[in-house]
Amino acid sequence: MKTKLTGKSLLSSSAVKKLRIELDRLKVQAALFFKRSDIFYLTGMDTAGVLIIKEAEALLYYPATEREILTNKNPLKIKLREYITALPWKEIFNRIGQTGRPGRTGCLEIALDIKGLDFKRYGIIKENCRNILDLDGFVRDMRVIKTRAEVELIKRSASHTVKIMDSIKIKEWEGKTEAALAGYISTRTWENGMSGPAFTPIVSTLKNSVYPHHIPGRDIIRDLVMIDMGSKYKGYCSDLTRTFILDKFINDSALNGFYESLERAKENAVSVLKPGVRCDRVYREAKESLEKDNLADYFIHGLGHGVGIDIHERPFLRAGCKEILKEGMVVTVEPGIYIKGSGGIRLEDMYIITKKGSQKLTKKYL
Amino acid sequence: MKTKLTGKSLLSSSAVKKLRIELDRLKVQAALFFKRSDIFYLTGMDTAGVLIIKEAEALLYYPATEREILTNKNPLKIKLREYITALPWKEIFNRIGQTGRPGRTGCLEIALDIKGLDFKRYGIIKENCRNILDLDGFVRDMRVIKTRAEVELIKRSASHTVKIMDSIKIKEWEGKTEAALAGYISTRTWENGMSGPAFTPIVSTLKNSVYPHHIPGRDIIRDLVMIDMGSKYKGYCSDLTRTFILDKFINDSALNGFYESLERAKENAVSVLKPGVRCDRVYREAKESLEKDNLADYFIHGLGHGVGIDIHERPFLRAGCKEILKEGMVVTVEPGIYIKGSGGIRLEDMYIITKKGSQKLTKKYL
């Protein structure tokens, strides 16, 4: 994903500073980052590759294919090294430190965020380093609390998404294909000067709406249509779902009842969004609300997820998640019910956790 | 990704049979598969989750969100178990075998394709199993050689993609935005009764075409436009790139020269596509061809990749890849050059390795 960058890094220098203090505490020579969104967070550069933070320097190895988007977009003046297709592991380990054993390219103590690292890469690193310390989500812990600058970008991203959703005159799409509407949404997302869709839009009409991750097809929009879409703005994602019940169905009492139950479940969940509340508590609030209407069995996924540089990131509002909500976290709340023969309904908005509660982000700001 | 399934599995029963023989040889209780494309390959069901192959039974744990696409689509009559959001690890290990140590949920010998497994999941498995054997690409080795039925689906996928590309009257898009054209392509891909785009289309006009992975934006198409697109057909991907040089540029001698050099490099690479040839040899053929025209430095990525259920899979035609081409492999050949100030050009087709050479797949069949 290419992202148009901001010209200056959002929070990179302070994040890198905190990271260096942590490396000093861990007594390691360097920390390595492979995840694109971590690299963007720390450097302001949206690229694949590997970022190496040492005490005295920061180095970014990037694939040559990313060359054009990095030119003139290096706010922290990080040293850049280019490679073609394969990471130059030997050079990387040599850069970090001198070899201690003959035949080995390195004998290093490094820090990594091990969770999420693929096993093959882990194997290569283990082979070349004496000691690997787990950063254990150090950067993810920083990322989960959004800075003021990040909140501003997320608000703009959300605002753009709301505008696109609002521009859909659903009556005009009745009788057209899901594919056509998904194409319209994609074009609008690409065209509004941001960085395109945050994910492939979901557009599902009645019989398809019971499948939460439906891919748009040539089915004709009628009766009911669910739209789940998001866009990126300068690297930051937004996420929004609406379900429209069309004329023929507007008087279907069952469907209207389901819709009201779902709205209530969403409101109840939002009412407990505040610092100090455990994530699974918010999920349960929605679940229990649906239980009262005998609809809990049709709610077959988590309630929400964090949103930031990644469209799905911590925290996760789902069963078993013990993470505690804190001020500055941004989450979706998106209960859904999927009833074969009746239809699927999902409603989703984004919220930021404030000092005493939460505030909806998916609205028009500009 | 949802895929409309074929109703009967393509090769699952023979693949599962081969796998069981391998498990017997390894003397393990079960093999576990987490990769969506492996699950689809082995079962005919396109779902997330975990597939467990034991000697006497096969079991598929799938997230409840996939429920609707699995109904009536279970050609091998595999036992299905549903879960919500989190894998029921304890139940899974209990299903595989009885615990041998108190307090542990399992004491098992299992086989996994360890490469590519994320470290967190590997940790959970290691914690619960006495012995993990590496399947070491056993299923990927099967997948890399396409069966006749798979080739048929890939041909249809490629044919659809070619038809969409051919339907683009590029003169009519001059003056419109990249975003609008990308939206058109997406709609056509979703609308043709397949399973949608194989990836987000790349549409890049002159100044953007120097970035190989450009995301479409509101820039106006003029002078030159590169289109890289693909679709899925019943779970199988296709991939095609064309670069169009528009009127004003048609007489630009430098650009025309680059285009001819690139065509030549592509032809030279295709001429060595045959069984027994090493993948990096094909890459070098293109690179050396461009070297003669002093353009090799502008070729900044690999030459091609395998295509099948995944859009990028083995084998990889790039520097250092020692894999040997075999009959039945399907690859892209896509040299590109990216020259700041002039423009980027990439040309891509798909080929199948035949007994004595190769055959182009990206053409109209239907």
Nearest CA in chain B to A201: B186
Same domain, B174 and B296: yes
Domain total in chain B = 2
Give the contacts of B267 (CB within 8 A, at least 6 positions apart): none
Q: What is the mean pLDDT of residues A267-292?
A: 98
Q: Is residue B6 part of a domain?
A: no
Window A:219-248, CB contacts with B under 8 Å? none
3-state secondary structure A308-346: CCCCCEEEEECCCCCCECCCCCEEEECCEEEECCCEEEE
CB contact under 8 A, A218 and B192: yes
Same domain, A335 and A235: yes
Which pLDDT value is given to residue B147?
94
Contacts of A188 in chain B (CB under 8 A): 179
Q: Is residue B76 part of a domain?
A: yes
Which pLDDT value is given to residue A167?
97
Q: Is A72 on the interface with B (CB under 8 A)?
A: no
Share of residues in chain A with pLDDT > 70 (%): 92
Burial level of A203, CB count in 10 A (0-12/13-18/19+)? buried
Which is more confident, A72 or A30? A30
Nearest CA in chain A to B343: A68
Q: Which of A202, A300, A322 to mutate: most B Cβ within 10 Å? A: A300
B98–chain A nearest CA distance, Å: 25
Q: Is A199 on the interface with B (CB under 8 A)?
A: no
Same domain, A126 and A189: no
Q: What is the mean pLDDT of residues B28-41?
A: 93
Question: In this predicted model, what pLDDT tens digit does every residue of A157-210 receive, in sequence order?
Answer: 999 999 999 999 999 999 999 999 999 999 999 998 667 899 999 999 988 999
Which pLDDT value is given to residue A1?
35
Same domain, B197 and B328: yes
pLDDT at A39 over 80: yes
B13–chain A nearest CA distance, Å: 27
CB contact under 8 A, B2 and A63: no
ipTM of the complex: 0.90
Which is more confident, A332 or B85? A332
Question: In this predicted model, what pLDDT tens digit does every residue of B99-154 receive, in sequence order?
Answer: 444 444 446 889 998 887 888 888 899 888 888 999 988 999 999 999 999 999 99
Q: Is B124 on the interface with A (CB under 8 A)?
A: no
Peptide bond before B102: cis, by omega within 30 degrees of 0?
no
Share of residues in chain B with pLDDT > 70 (%): 92
CB contact under 8 A, B65 and A213: yes
Contacts of A178 in chain B (CB under 8 A): 190
CB pairs under 8 A between A and B: 167
Which pLDDT value is given to residue A72?
64
Rounded Cα–Cα distance for residues B92 and A108 (Å): 38
DSSP string, B11-56: SHHHHHHHHHHHHHHHT-SEEEE--HHHHHHHHS----SEEEEESS
State which of B142, B157, B185 marks the end of a domain. Answer: B142
Which is more confident, B211 or A2? B211
A208–chain B nearest CA distance, Å: 9
B321–chain A nearest CA distance, Å: 10
Q: What is the mean pLDDT of residues A288-293?
A: 98
pLDDT at A9 over 80: no
CB contact under 8 A, B177 and A191: yes
Which pLDDT value is given to residue A366?
64
Same domain, B153 and B138: no
Which pLDDT value is given to residue B107?
62
State which of B111, B142, B173 marks the end of a domain. Answer: B142
Question: In this predicted model, what pLDDT tens digit does every residue of A119-148 receive, in sequence order?
Answer: 888 889 988 888 899 998 899 999 999 999
Is the pTM above the cut of 0.80?
A: yes
Which pLDDT value is given to residue A40?
92
Query: Where would I find the beta strands (DSSP E) of chain B?
Result: 30-33, 50-54, 58-63, 79-83, 108-112, 129-134, 202-205, 224-229, 232-233, 236-237, 240-245, 304-306, 313-317, 330-333, 336-339, 343-346, 349-353, 358-360
- The parent domain of residue A224 ranges over 148-360
Nearest CA in chain B to A341: B68
Q: Is residue B328 part of a domain?
A: yes
Same domain, A102 and A203: no
Window B:335-364, CB contacts with A under 8 Å? 338, 340
Same domain, B103 and B172: no
Q: Is A117 on the interface with B (CB under 8 A)?
A: yes
Residue B207 gets which letter from DSSP?
G
Among the partner-chain residues A182, A186, A215, the one whose CB lies closest to the CB of B195 is A215
Q: Is residue A4 part of a domain?
A: no
Contacts of B183 in chain A (CB under 8 A): 183-184, 186-187, 190
Among the partner-chain residues B119, B211, B340, the one whose CB lies closest to the CB of A116 is B119
B256–chain A nearest CA distance, Å: 22
Question: In this predicted model, what pLDDT tens digit does every residue of B160-192 receive, in sequence order?
Answer: 999 999 999 999 999 999 999 999 999 999 998
CB A230 within 8 A of CB A361: no
Question: In this predicted model, what pLDDT tens digit does every residue of B233-264 receive, in sequence order?
Answer: 999 999 999 999 987 777 777 788 899 999 99
Which pLDDT value is given to residue A200?
94
Among the partner-chain residues B86, B177, B178, the one whose CB lies closest to the CB of A320 is B86
Same domain, A210 and A340: yes
Same domain, A133 and A279: no
Query: Confidence class of residue B12 from pLDDT cuts 50, 70 and 90?
Result: low
Q: What is the mean pLDDT of residues A270-296?
A: 98
Which token pair is B267? 């032809």
Nearest CA in chain A to B194: A217
Q: Is A67 on the interface with B (CB under 8 A)?
A: yes
Contacts of A66 in chain B (CB under 8 A): 213
Among the partner-chain residues B186, B217, B218, the one whose CB lies closest to the CB of A183 is B186
Share of residues in chain B with pLDDT > 90 (%): 68
Report the CATH number that the domain containing residue A83 is assigned in CATH: 3.40.350.10
Which is more confident, A45 or A103? A45
CB contact under 8 A, A215 and B200: no
Q: Is residue A202 part of a domain?
A: yes
B123–chain A nearest CA distance, Å: 9
State which of A109, A142, A175 marks the end of a domain. Answer: A142
Rounded Cα–Cα distance for residues B159 and A279 (Å): 48
Window A:281-340, CB contacts with B under 8 Å? 300-302, 318-320, 338, 340
Question: In this predicted model, what pLDDT tens digit does every residue of A208-257 receive, in sequence order?
Answer: 999 999 999 999 999 999 999 999 999 999 999 999 998 777 777 778 88
Q: Is residue B248 part of a domain?
A: yes
Query: Where would I find the beta strands (DSSP E) of B64-124?
Result: 79-83, 108-112
